[in-house]
Amino acid sequence: MSQLVIDTGIDRSLVERLSAGEPAWLQHARLAALERLNAMPQPDDRTVGWRRTALDGLDLSPPMPVGPEYTLTISDADGKQGVRATTLADASLSGDGTLQAMLEHAHIGRSVSRYAALTESAWQAGIFIYIPAGVEVSEPISIELHEGSYPRIALIAGANSQATVVETHREAARLSSGLVDMLVCGGASLRYAHVQECGPSTAVFSHQRAVLERDARLITLNFGIGGRLARNDVEVELQGRGAESEMLGLVFAEGAQEFDYHTLQGHRSPDTRSDLLFKNALDDRSHSSYTGVIVIDRGAQRSDAYQANRNILLSEGARADTEPKLEIEADDVRCTHGATVGPIDEEQLFYASSRGLAPDDAARLIVEGFFQEVFEKFGDARVTEALRGRVSPHLGRIGAGS
Amino acid sequence: MALKEQVLVDQDYKYGFRDETLNYAFKSRKGVDHDIVEQISQMKGEPQWMSDFRHRSLDIFFSKPMPAWADNELLGQIDFDDIYYYMRASDVEGRSWEDVPADIKRTFDRLGVPQAERAFLGGVTAQYDSEVVYHSIRKDLEAKGVLFSDMGVGLREHEDIVRQHFATVIPPADNKFSALNSAVWSGGSFIWVPPGVHVDIPLQAYFRINSESMGQFERTLIIAEPGSFVHYIEGCTAPTFSSNSLHSAVVELIAKEGAHIRYTTIQNWYKNVYNLVTKRALAEKNAHVEWVDGNIGSKLTMKYPSVYLMGEGARGDVLSIAYASEGQHQDAGSKMVHAAPNTTSLITSKSVSKGGGRTTYRGLVKVYEGCDGVKSNVRCDALLMDPESRSDTYPTMEVDAKNVRIEHEATVSKVGEEQLFYVMSRGLSEVEATTMIVNGFFEPFVKELPMEYAVELNRLIALEMEGSVG
Amino acid sequence: MPIPLLEIRDLHVAVGEKEIIRGIDLTIERGTVHALMGPNGSGKSTLSLALMGHPKYTVTIGDMLFEGRSILDMKTEERSLAGMFLCFQYPSAVPGVSVANFLRNTLMARHKGQAPLKPARFKQLLEESIAKLKMDPSVLGRYVNDGFSGGEKKRLEILQALVLQPTLSILDETDSGLDIDALRIIAQGIEAQRGPERAILLITHYQRVLNYVKPDVVHVMLHGRIVKQGGFELAQELEARGYDPLIKQLVEA
């Protein structure tokens, strides 16, 4: 395994240097992550889960840490309400046990990803956002990342608070691997959008982990139109009774883009509810792979879970894989999943053509309609109107080839 | 298996046959190596190519690891050195119906197993050779030119056909257990249906002459020439006895242009048996292959009947049910590989888990590039009977062609309290009501079975629901 | 006095912690038809399900006697075999089980230890009942309530009552959601369950079914109690003026 340490360039002395001035528990967490990283080989096209991802010409070796460069916007009114943002490094010194508990145990999830471990050991500065209990945040909190190899964000939504957070990625370097930890406290309601518009040659990884306490509610949206390769792991743990999660995904892929999304809906307590809708439209030679699992623990009775992955293939060369999985150990549950892959519905195309639309215009309109359901489910028009605007130029290129 | 565990299993399975009722005339020593394989080949007087094939396969078996994705907690319990790989129960040949133990006869009665099948299950081979009915069936098959025999006989008498097709669908290297079967296979059916011939009655193992009793490592090869049809039924709902804890069969089907093969299995092995079976079909142009597959017994079943749709217009169907109670894991599913345009597949899987049992659906639908017009529909429904049981669904869809329609849907639910109350309010007990609901759940499968099997299966489920089959 | 067919004494029924029925006394003699009326949420359906022993409904106080015997310890199927029958307001679907098969099984449950109905007689009974309810004979091959319309479900409930011939029929809003022609047919089916040894408890929100099935006694239920009893004229009064005057009157009292 020592070879791999040399290979990554991320070694113990570097991690210790990055960790200078941090509390001991945080340094321990970084070093533990480094150990996990070193125990996992660099993925290639024979690695489980990577077999069908085209990795040719991609250098996925970890770069030396740079950044992050970002713009963070919190409205004045919300600042006055006590919503605050600091670096994660500073926040870790405040002695808040909540943050420590959150960061120390965050990796104990289901998917032990190499890149999550990498980021967890090599992040710099970090971003910490705190929404105090009971606060209703009036404007979406926005984080725009321009540069940074290992951006890390921690987010705590205090009890009964309400907020929308949008994280936009515009990195253009060879590789960026982000990590987001969210804690949604009792009765809180959080909307979180991950918007990925990275450069055309960037390999971008994002690992998002959320823990929901009792009666908490979380809506996540993974919006992907950028990057050469995008791998997202979205894990939602419904720890508290009555917690609810809505997970949304939207991908428009063109050229030789690769999207590889993994999701977890973890029902750990009774009376929890989760819904998932990931929609992909794939043009040119792009490829999408979706792997999602619903886990219902023994004792998590009256769980209600739904999972759907819908793929539209817009071109002969486009490919889609889907693997929606269920692991159910409680009997009093309602659990359904579905997946579809196919071209645009011929009847829809015909109908649009009969109204005088050219095939490509009809296709654009139908794909817009296909995405509409995702935007509606997110439920915050301030965010989704902007996103609709971001995806629309891409739809205009349907049929143009590249 | 430890003695205590064996006893527990036996008590749990009151209908099972007992070990001591059989005396084997020839038994190889335990474990498997090249000497054993050579011995098997010599005993059978096989041609050199088959002998070479066996030895090659054994090396593959040794070199292959256990599948990483499987239930390795159960699989890991198999001790390959503690298994007899070949035995010939020669005394069985001379057994008569009177020798079949009384409790087994009673089971047959309660299940309503047909007479001929009872004889077969009871190991009575001498008797039905003279039975008029089956004699006429065999006459009929002969007249049509259908070849139907034990696999060993098939190899001796029709070596050319066997050699041309054998292991072309499932090579030994496919997986660890197909490699093992390829090394030590014995028994199974060989069927060849001439072009255009329609075999009206379902063929069943007990119609065969010189039938070797159902083995642990049987090998079945069915070749349907262009435009022909054949329906093969193996197993039955009555308990299938095995003295060995490992059953690993290989079944290869070849449906040539426009041919139609239906293969029906009802697996009800003893609950100490590992049932690790590789079943695969090749469907050529406009051919149609149907797997109707029921899994009730065994400790661990791993079985994913597949269809490789190689010719345009080919069609593959899998209709399966699985029932797992305490200590059982039914890990079943299907693979549909679309390698030609305008091919269609339909997978319908239904499972019931009860008393801590576990069912898994594992499936793959693959569409190769350029295969436009492919349609595939997968539907999995799982029913959980109590909070101790478990259901997993692992479907995979890999789609490399645009103009296709691939759909998958699965649900997991329990027997509804309201539904149960409704049926009970009409005067049925909880057991009767549950049985009725489960039978209804399995109905789409049951109605595809020949009548006597359908009746049997419904009764079997009723016995299972009673919680005791005594 | 003969023993009443059904006697309910100071019945209290709870769902979980919540008490829905708060002290009901009701006696039904053989040969009579009782109507139980009341607005939505008054506890009518709860009473019907509690009578049939639904596991979610707990009797906290009081007793229910059928033919003089307490049924509290009887299982649902035992109550059914004893001669009680509930026409469900929302009957469950039993996919994969055909109507014919379902009815055969319910009849067989009633003939334990005896020879069940001869196939010919069973067929005749089904055909007569289906004709009476103007149902399509193909219903026998369909799965119980699976994909049935609201009206079809109601008819199937009545069909079961005709086949099983219970001593006490409890009809929970069997008249709701039906057009006038369907209502007339269903009412004939209900009428067919009258008999000197039998009785009917007709639970309804509206009076209109009572024009076809004349009740001997009308009970009005509100907030888990029976607040008024009378003859057919009480039903007519409710139809004309609604439940509000009655509620107002009670609040003032």
Q: Tens digits of per-residue pLDDT, B221-272?
A: 999 999 999 999 886 655 555 555 788 999 999 999 999 999 999 888 877 7
Task: Say whether pLDDT at B121 is over 80.
Answer: no
Task: Say whether pLDDT at B468 is over 80.
Answer: no
Does any CB of chain A come closer than 8 Å to the CB of residue B398?
Answer: yes
- Rounded CA separation B311/B339 (Å): 7
Residues of B within an 8 Å Cβ radius of C: 416-419, 421-430, 432-433, 436-437, 439-444
Q: Strand ranges (DSSP E) for A213-272?
A: 217-224, 229-238, 244-253, 258-267
**Which has the higher per-residue pLDDT, B107 or A324?**
A324
- Total domains in the fold of chain C: 1
Q: Which amino acid is at A277?
A: L
- Rounded CA separation B71/B276 (Å): 12
Radius of gyration of chain C (CA): 18
Q: Are C92 and B424 an interchain contact pair (Cβ–Cβ within 8 Å)?
A: no
pLDDT at B88: 57
Confidence of residue C122 (pLDDT cuts 50, 70, 90): confident
For residue B438, give the chain C residue with the closest CA. Answer: C96
> ipTM of this model?
0.85
pLDDT digits (tens, 9 = 90+) for C85-107: 999 998 888 888 889 888 888 88
Asked, for residue C116, whether it belongs to a domain, the answer is no
- Rounded CA separation B198/C171 (Å): 55
Confidence of residue B126 (pLDDT cuts 50, 70, 90): very low
Q: Which residues pair with B295 in a beta bridge?
A: B267, B322
Residue A357: HSE in the Cβ half-sphere, 13 Å Cα cutoff? 15
- Rounded CA separation B237/C90 (Å): 37
Q: Which amino acid is at C53?
A: G
* CA angle (C137 as vertex; B419, C192 as ends), nearest 5: 75
**What is the sign of the dihedral through the CA atoms of A2, A7, A9 and A15?**
negative
**Among A176, A172, A320, residue whose Cα is nearest residue A260:** A320
pLDDT at B76: 85
Who contacts C113 (Cβ-Cβ below 8 Å, separation ≥6)?
A: none
Residue B202: HSE in the Cβ half-sphere, 13 Å Cα cutoff? 19
Q: Are there at least 3 beta-carbon pairs closer than 8 Å between C and A?
A: no
**Which has the higher per-residue pLDDT, C113 or B266?**
B266
pLDDT at C208: 83
Q: Are C106 and B443 an interchain contact pair (Cβ–Cβ within 8 Å)?
A: no
- The enclosing domain of C86 has a CATH number of 3.40.50.300
Which domain range does residue C166 map to?
6-91+146-252
- Rounded CA separation B106/B467 (Å): 18
- Please check whether residue B323 is in contact with residue B293, taking contact to mean a CB–CB distance below 8 angstroms: no
Q: Which of B175-184, B294-303, B330-339, C103-112 has the lowest mean pLDDT?
A: C103-112
pLDDT at A61: 84
Confidence of residue C224 (pLDDT cuts 50, 70, 90): very high
Does any CB of chain B come closer than 8 Å to the CB of residue A178?
Answer: no
Q: Which residues pair with B338 in a beta bridge?
A: B309, B367
What is the b/e burial string over A162-192, where b = at least 16 CB atoms within 10 angstroms of the residue's CB? Answer: bbbbbbbbbbbbbbbbbbbbbbbbbbbbbbb
For residue C95, give the chain B residue with the closest CA. Answer: B440
Gap from B165 CA to chain A (nearest CA, Å):
31
**Which has the higher per-residue pLDDT, B386 or B98?**
B386
Among B350, B426, B438, the residue to mutate for chain C (most C Cβ within 10 A): B426
- Rounded CA separation B16/B242 (Å): 9
pLDDT at A401: 53
What average pLDDT does this structure show over C3-13?
Answer: 95
Among A291, A332, A341, A398, the residue to mutate for chain B (most B Cβ within 10 A): A341
Among B379, B402, B419, the residue to mutate for chain A (most A Cβ within 10 A): B402
Gap from B347 CA to chain A (nearest CA, Å):
14
pLDDT at B13: 34
C-beta neighbour count of B120 within 10 angstroms: 24
Residues in chain A, pLDDT under 70: 1-8, 45-52, 95, 105-112, 399-402
Asked, for residue C77, whether it belongs to a domain, the answer is yes
What average pLDDT does this structure show over B445-455?
Answer: 83
Radius of gyration of chain A (CA): 21
Q: Which SS3 state, helix, strand or coil, does residue A394 take? A: helix
What average pLDDT does this structure show over C23-39?
Answer: 94
pLDDT at A57: 75
* H or E element at residue B178: helix B176-184
pLDDT at B94: 41
Task: Say whether pLDDT at B95 is over 70.
Answer: no
pLDDT digits (tens, 9 = 90+) for B374-432: 999 999 999 998 888 999 999 999 999 989 999 999 988 888 788 999 999 999 999 88
Q: Can you give the pTM of this predicted structure?
A: 0.81
Gap from C58 CA to chain B (nearest CA, Å):
15
Gap from B55 CA to chain C (nearest CA, Å):
49
- The average confidence (pLDDT) of chain B is 81
Percent of chain B residues past pLDDT 90, beyond the cut: 51
Chain B CB contacts of A316 under 8 Å are 401-402
Q: Which of A68-82, C58-72, C177-191 has the lowest mean pLDDT?
A: C177-191
Q: Which of B113-127, B134-148, C65-79, C118-132 has the lowest mean pLDDT?
A: B113-127
